[in-house]
Amino acid sequence: MSTNTDALKRYYRFHAAIYDSTRWSFLFGRSALIQRLQTMRLQPRRVLEIGCGTGRNLAMLARAFPKADIVGVDISQDMLEHARRRCSFAEDRVFLECAPYGTQSRLGGFDVIVASYALSMMGDGVGAVLDAVKRDLRHGGVFAVVDFRDSRFAFFRRWMGCNHVRLDDGVLPQIRERFGESVVSTHHAYAGLWRWFMLVA
């Protein structure tokens, strides 16, 4: 297990308790991404969220796609405890796995894979994670991402680095390398303090 993974687990041991009451104020676009998937009139049988955290998106996905099995993978057991409670209304078809993505057991054949504010926390591991997405997505499947993109303010990049988030525009090119020029929109947060992006490939 990498040092980065260990550091993240420690970070979320504390942050799990305050995650939902704080993150609404800066993890923008999460609901919009799922609404976007709904408008695509997909009929997925298997949906995966990488780095599902406290299960906010999993619960929305379970409601949006009532016939689908929903799998959430996360390295933090503390975050997954919240996800388990939140998704109890669909416990027969929401499956949670505590593992670094790429090593989980329910591999392959996903119709939709979602990564919401997870890739920006994976440091140098992003490439390997994206390779695993290519492997796990069935032919014609949809990869949907919302995440931080960059900031022109060094102090803010440093602060977010202390919170394990990269803001160097390093993730999007790696996605494009593997998934082509997908539909991307970029948005400003707090008058340009940072930019975030949404992508459907």
Ligand X SMILES: C[S@@+](CC[C@H](N)C(=O)[O-])C[C@H]1O[C@@H](n2cnc3c(N)ncnc32)[C@H](O)[C@@H]1O
Q: Closest CB to ligand X among 44 and 51?
A: 51
- Window 109-128: residues binding ligand X (CB under 6 A): 116-118, 121-122
29 binds ligand X (CB under 6 A): no
CB 62 within 8 A of CB 93: yes
Give whole-number Cα distances, 23 to 19, 53, 72, in Å: 6, 11, 19
Furthest-apart CA atoms within the chain: distance in Å:
46
**Residue among 53, 68, 113, 198 that touches ligand X (CB under 6 A):** 53
CA–CA separation, 168 and 152 (whole Å) = 9
75 binds ligand X (CB under 6 A): yes
57 binds ligand X (CB under 6 A): yes
Beta bridge partners of 197: 147, 186
Q: Closest CB to ligand X among 100 and 141?
A: 100
61 binds ligand X (CB under 6 A): no
Quote the tokens at residue 70: 């929903």
Which residues make up the interface to ligand X (CB under 6 A)?
Answer: 8, 12, 27, 30, 50-53, 56-57, 73-76, 79, 100-101, 116-118, 121-122
